Structures are given as C-alpha cells and as structure tokens.
Amino acid sequence: MRLGIYGGTFDPPHLGHLTALKAAVRELELERVLVIPTFIPPHKEQAAGMASCEDRLKMTELCFGDAPGAGIWDGEIKRGGRSYTIDTVTEIKKLYPDSEIVLLMGTDMYVTLEAWREFERLLGLVTCGVFIRNSGEEDTVRTHELRLREMYGAKTEIIPNDPVEISSTELRELLPKRQGREFLRDEVYEYIVNKGLFGVKADFDWLRCKAYDMLNERRIRHVAGCEAEAVKLAKAWGCDVELAREAAILHDITKKLDLEGQLNLCSEYGIIIDEIERSELKLLHSKTGAYVAKDRFNVCGEVFNAILWHTTGREDMSLLDKVIYLADYIEPTRDFEGVKSLRAKCYEDLDGALCLGLEMSIADMEQYGVRPHERTANALNWLRKGEHYDNTERDG
Ligand SMILES: [Fe+2]
Ligand SMILES: [Fe+2]
C-alpha cells in the first residue's frame, strides 16, 4: 500500500491543507494518508495564542475526516514531548509494515531535509512527496532531488498543487475581525465559533444562515427587520453596533419550538423557570434562546442578557437590552395600533419609548387575559423612578 503521511500543527486546518492532501492522493495514487497533528506543549500553545492539542485534533478530524483515503493519527499528540519525523515514521512502519511510506512536505521543508534528525535513515524509509506551487519551486526541487538521490539514494515525487493562498497564522489574525471563514470548512468554522478559539467573532452572513435555519419564513422577515432596526437604534444611541446586530440576529432562535421542546432545553441547560414562564411559550423562548446562543455561538454576556430579557424587560436594563427590546417591538414588519408613534419616540427619547413599550405590552397581555410577568412591571417601576438615567449614562 502507498501510504501518505501528512503532518502539521493544523492551527487551524484550512482549505489549503485539504486541497494539498487531495492533490497528493490524486497525483501520487495514495491509497491512504495519515494526517498527523503535531504535539505542542500547552505553555507554548498558550503563549502563541494557539488552540490546545485537543482542539487541534478535533478540528483536524472535522477538516479531513471524510476526505477520501484520509485518516487521523493522534500518535504524536499521545506521545507528547517533541516528536521527530524519524520517530513517527518508525512507529508508522511498525503499524503498516508492508506499506510504502510517502512523506508529504512543502518545498521549504524538502530543502532542509539534511538538517533533520537521522535524515539518512529517514530517507531510507520513505519516499518524499513534495508539493510544488510553481515552476520556480519545481526547479528548486529538481536540483535537490538529483543531489539527494546521488548522495543518499533518496526517492522523490513531485505533487503539482494549485495552492489556496492562506496560512493558519493569517487565519488567526482574520478570525477576530469576523473574516476568513471562506478558507475553512464549515464544520471547522462552527467548531471555532462554538469554542471561541483564536478570539473569533462570528461572521454575520454565517450567523444569519445558522439562525434562519432555525426559523420559519415569517419569523425570518421579523428577525431581518429586527436586525436592521437594532443597528439603527444602536447608531442613534451610541450602543455597540456589532453586539446589537449579533443579539438581534439570534434573539428568536428557539421561537419555533413548542412547549415540550422549550422545557426540554430548560432541563438540558439547567435553566431555572418560574410558574408563569413554565406555561408561557413567549416567555420561555427568550430564556432558551439566550442559552442556545451562548452554547452554540459563544455569545458574550451582554448579548446573552439582551436575548434573555428581550420579552419581559427587567430592572437595570443595559443600553443593549433596551435597543433589542425596542427593535423587536418596532421593527418594520410590525403593524399594530400606535406603532408609528412608538417608532418615532424610540429615536427621540429611548427611555420614554421603553416605558411606553412596556406599558403597551402589559395592556396587550391584560386584554388577552394573560398575566404579565412581574419583571415587566419591575422594569416599568424602575424606569418611572428615573433610576435608568444613571444606567444609560454609564452604558453610553
Ligand atoms: Fe422573541
Ligand atoms: Fe422577536
């Protein structure tokens, strides 16, 4: 069997890695490739802002796991300590004694081979599979190939590869800017967002796709309207626009679930609910939505709270809480008596509008025989006492 070995830190593994692996399988007719994430000591990982061994291994599985011929080998991570290629190759040779091992590497690695530990023994055990990106690299490889063959009997095969122009280092810089997603497999990107690796902030297009997948048609229009309104309000009142956008996109993600589904999520996340909430879908979805947003999309505390309180309001609402509560209430697809004047008030007097919104909400519920939640009354009392002015200044 022709068996490829493809090692790397894979921090994170990206489409450039995947394209290279596929090129190797195709060009060299490899039956199998072992993808091997390198062990890196935890203190070094932390110092360099890298992901842990466990996370790199998981991302590697998500990136390559279903590529034809690929298998993940965690031997270097399990072994710990510094791994030399010769140790790994020796171990693999024991596991696959009848295989022809093809060691995959870039041109930069190939030209330094003679500095590797026990390189002569290594060259006796493997065929070098070298990725070349252009004719310049091909010339370099050909020159070295000749010498390495004559001096050490080395075997070399060339893998033409149309590279994806990205590196893991560049990706680690792009991800906190809500960029770079196009260079990653969706599964890997989702894992990075979910675990909050590399200080990632979720790309808004991606976040919308994920949120809209959980909603029905009508709700999608409402959420899109809410996002637009939240951004407008955030700009008008000096609130963080990105957090407002994120909270608005995610605020109703569990809205489609029935009572049973909501209660299941409550027990799954250990959400404490009171008597009124237990029977009220409208109240439950804001709580479950906040927990799902935190669990799946790793939202920060401010976004979590804005989602958590978007239905009832509460005492001590932050500026973001107010923006989301009101955007949800007045977004362009909303149509009820008084919506126009409430909309106008939102841009003149935010707290006055919030007061009015809470009053309208209480009146609305009473009309339908639903007991308003005491948090809504508390929010209203707090606003009427004027304590909110301090809070707004603090937030602003
Ligand atoms: Fe909602
Ligand atoms: Fe909503």
Q: Which ligand is nearest to the CA of 333?
A: 2
The strand ranges marked E within 53-202 are: 70-72, 100-106, 126-132, 155-160
How many residues are given for the chain?
396
Whole-number Å distance, alpha carbon 201 to ligand 2 midpoint, is 23
- The full set of domain ranges for the chain reads 2-165, 208-395
Which of the ligands is closest to the CA of residue 287?
1
User: What pLDDT, in 10s, does the model give residues 214-269?
Assistant: 999 999 999 999 999 999 999 999 999 999 999 999 999 999 999 999 999 999 99
Kindly give the distance from the C-alpha atom of residue 210 to the centroid of ligand 2, in angstroms, as a whole number: 16
Please give the distance, rounded to the nearest whole angstrom, from the Cα atom of residue 328 to the centre of ligand 2. Answer: 5
pLDDT at 392: 45
Residue 388 confidence class, pLDDT cut points 50, 70, 90: low
Question: 181 alpha carbon to ligand 1 midpoint, in Å?
Answer: 28
Which ligand places an atom closest to the C-alpha of 290? 1
- The rounded Å distance from CA 326 to ligand 2 centre is 10
CA of 241 to the centre of ligand 2 (A): 18
394: confidence class by pLDDT, cuts 50, 70, 90: very low
Same fold across 2-165 and 208-395: no
Model confidence pLDDT, tens digit, residues 276-309:
888 888 889 999 999 999 999 999 999 999 999 9
Take residue 175 and report the two structure tokens written for it: 């991800």
Ligand showing the shortest atom-to-Cα distance for residue 334: 2
Which pair of structure tokens corresponds to residue 303? 């976004």
User: Quick one: pLDDT at residue 275?
Assistant: 86
The fold of 208-395 is Hypothetical protein af1432 (1.10.3210)
Side-chain-facing half-sphere of 60: CA atoms under 13 Å: 26
- CATH code at 2-165: 3.40.50.620
pTM of the model: 0.91
Distance (angstroms) between ligand 2 centre and the Cα of 212 equals 13
What's the gap in Å between 221 CA and the centre of ligand 2?
Answer: 10
Task: Note whether 354 and 325 are within 8 A (CB).
Answer: yes
**For 82-108, how does the pLDDT look when each residue is reduced to its tens digit (9 = 90+)?**
889 999 999 999 999 999 999 999 999
Helices (H), 1-84: 15-28, 42-47, 53-64, 75-79
* Other Cβ atoms within 10 Å of 384 Cβ, number: 13
pLDDT in tens, 159-214: 999 889 999 999 999 999 999 999 999 999 999 999 999 999 999 999 999 999 99
